[in-house]
Amino acid sequence: MPPAPTIDEPPLWDEARLRDPHHQPDKAHRVRRMFDHIAPTYERVNTLTSAGRDRHWRRRAVALCAASRADVVLDVACGTGDLARAFAAVVGRVVGLDFSSDMLRLARARPAPATAWVRADALKLPFADASFTIVGCAFGVRNFQDLGDGLREFHRVLRPAGRAVILEFTMPRGRLIGGLYRFYLMNILPRVAGWLSGDRHGAYRYLSRSVASFENEDGMEESLRSAGFVSVERHSLTCGVVCVYVARKAGSQPGHETRT
């Protein structure tokens, strides 16, 4: 169980900061410390609060970007490595990157074939231009200090015709499903996940508020195009709770079929 804050250590996410979680000047610092605290229970809480769908979502993201043995993949904000391991089952090489040392420690404890783990900032990727054919990110872009900077880094390290595949929570648009999901997201999930994880830093209240106030599908597509991607596919999953975005960099690459 993650350590509880001391009397002198206030929660990382209090009500004042949660009113506007995406525009806190020290958001990245708070997110990193938050993930260090919840790392030990992260996978278990994800599985329980998503009714086991989180693994399906990751496998679906891998399939939707048409990953193959020829691909070299960077998994940004890899956490404990679930998406990296899903990629490792079908591609030639994977690099998992995260800025939380405790998350990476757990990722390394369950190694995957042809996979390396790197601690670094998603907004300052330590790789040369055109290093990867796929950049993946599952439930991570919402946590970036600056979304545009992060997406431009994805674009920079991709080879011509490379793909960015992003899996992120969304708010269902239907009145009934949307209302039920919002009630679950804002009222049930933070309490259940907080109890399961022993969290005292507001991590799962941050999760709920950050999802509800993040870019919708149209906004994400616009952000990807602004970062330089020439095409964006959107795939809604589980009644609109999650969206997979597959964005392509311009150019052609020998040995890879271009799909439109």
Q: For residue 193, tell me if it sits in a domain.
A: no
Q: Is the pLDDT of residue 260 over 80?
A: no
pLDDT at 252: 73
Q: For residue 41, tell me if it sits in a domain.
A: yes
- Mean pLDDT value across residues 149-177: 96
Cα distance from N-terminal residue to C-terminal residue, the chain: 46
Q: For residue 192, tell me if it sits in a domain.
A: no
Looking at the DSSP bridge assignments, the partners of residue 118 are 97
pLDDT at 112: 86
Residue 163 to residue 134: CA distance in whole angstroms: 5
pLDDT at 52: 87
pLDDT at 200: 86
Count of structural domains within the chain: 1
Task: Dig out the tokens for 18 from the structure.
Answer: 């949660």
Q: For residue 200, tell me if it sits in a domain.
A: no
Q: For residue 45, tell me if it sits in a domain.
A: yes
Domain around 112: 18-170+215-248
Amino acid at 94: V
DSSP designation for 259: -
Task: Dig out the tokens for 140 from the structure.
Answer: 């991570």
Q: Is the pLDDT of residue 134 over 90?
A: yes
Q: Is the pLDDT of residue 5 over 60?
A: no
Residue 106 to residue 227: CA distance in whole angstroms: 32
Residue 62 to residue 73: CA distance in whole angstroms: 11
Residue 36 to residue 119: CA distance in whole angstroms: 13
Residue 152 to residue 71: CA distance in whole angstroms: 20
Q: Give the rounded percent of residues in the chain with a pLDDT score beyond 70.
A: 93
Taking every pair of Cα atoms in the chain, the longest distance, rounded to a whole number of angstroms, is: 59
- Mean pLDDT value across residues 35-40: 94
Task: Dig out the tokens for 161 from the structure.
Answer: 């015709």
Q: For residue 194, tell me if it sits in a domain.
A: no
Q: Is the pLDDT of residue 229 over 90?
A: yes
CATH no. for residue 244? 3.40.50.150
Contact in structure between 46 and 107 (CB atoms under 8 Å): no
Contact in structure between 137 and 123 (CB atoms under 8 Å): no
Sign of CA dihedral 154, 158, 162, 165: negative
Q: For residue 84, tell me if it sits in a domain.
A: yes
Q: For residue 202, tell me if it sits in a domain.
A: no
Question: Does the pTM exceed 0.85?
Answer: yes
Amino acid at 198: G
Residue 90 to residue 48: CA distance in whole angstroms: 26
pLDDT at 111: 78
What are 57-94's pLDDT values in tens digits? 999 999 999 999 999 999 999 999 999 999 999 999 99
Residue by residue, DSSP assigns 10-46 as --SS-HHHHTSGGG-TTHHHHHHHHHHHHGGGHHHHH
Of 130, 128, 91, 152, the residue nearest 252 (C-alpha) = 130
